[in-house]
Amino acid sequence: MLNHRKAEERGRADLGWLDSRHTFSFGHYFDPEHMGVGPLRVINDDRVAAGAGFPTHPHSDMEIISYVLEGGLAHRDSIGTGSVIRPGDVQRMSAGTGIRHSEFNASDSEPVHFLQIWIIPEKDGLAPGYEQKTFDAESKRGKLKLVGSRDGRDGSVTIHRDVDLYATLPGDGGTVTHKLADGRIGWVQVAQGTATLNGEELRPGDGVALDAGDAIKLTGTSDDAEILLFDMAA
């Protein structure tokens, strides 16, 4: 059964320098009907103005994934990591027993657009950690590319939870398919562009919850369609 969460139904925080859309409850936005799906707890669709960003702040016991769509995101943390994340990069930060970090737009003139994703780890008290890998457009074009997984297989970043995260650039008219195994649930997130899911139209920012056994057919309906698929143990 497909459960469509439309982009315009999401929560919103507009701070001037930050325009953030919340697929699930986050911060001051609370909706008991949308607290996440399985271990997937947060998908924030963030746009940060040039030169602005999130000052140093703490996290613990969460797997935090950043997926940049436009611009560059500068990251600094208390375990000594410093990097700029750009389109094609996937960053995984394990907050574990505690980590402090900052995220700023790397440009003084252009905005940055990215998805911030939180996944509840398999257990509390993990050691803090960081990983960043690049997946070029060709590796995602017309196919589902594994970019995150529990075991880091096929060159994906390691997520400390039984979650397979796929990214795809289907192209206008291109199609990818996937079937959830028994005991697994899913979520489809349209990062940008437009698509159809089993014939149903999806717009930028739309999400769809999937049940165990669901078979999906994703077809891009714009050249810039970019879609994430989470395949998770229930």
Q: 0.95 cut: is pTM over it?
A: yes
> Region 53-68: what's the mean pLDDT?
97
pLDDT digits (tens, 9 = 90+) for 128-184: 999 999 999 999 999 999 999 999 999 999 999 999 999 999 999 999 999 999 999
- Round to whole Å and give the CA distance between 29 and 13: 8
pLDDT digits (tens, 9 = 90+) for 9-39: 999 999 999 999 999 999 999 999 999 999 9
On the CB side of 48, how many CA atoms lie within 13 Å of its CA?
24
Average pLDDT, the chain: 97
Kindly give, in sequence order, each residue whose CB lies less than 8 Å from that of residue 98, ignoring residues fewer than 6 positions away.
Answer: 58, 59, 60, 128
Nearest to 207 by CA among 117, 109, 104, 86: 117
DSSP element (H, E) containing 140: helix 137-140
Nearest to 3 by CA among 32, 29, 34: 34
pLDDT digits (tens, 9 = 90+) for 78-88: 999 999 999 99
pLDDT above 90 for 1: no
> Region 196-214: what's the mean pLDDT?
97
- Structural domains of the chain, ranges and CATH numbers in brackets: 3-233 (2.60.120.10)
Tokens of 21: 């859309």
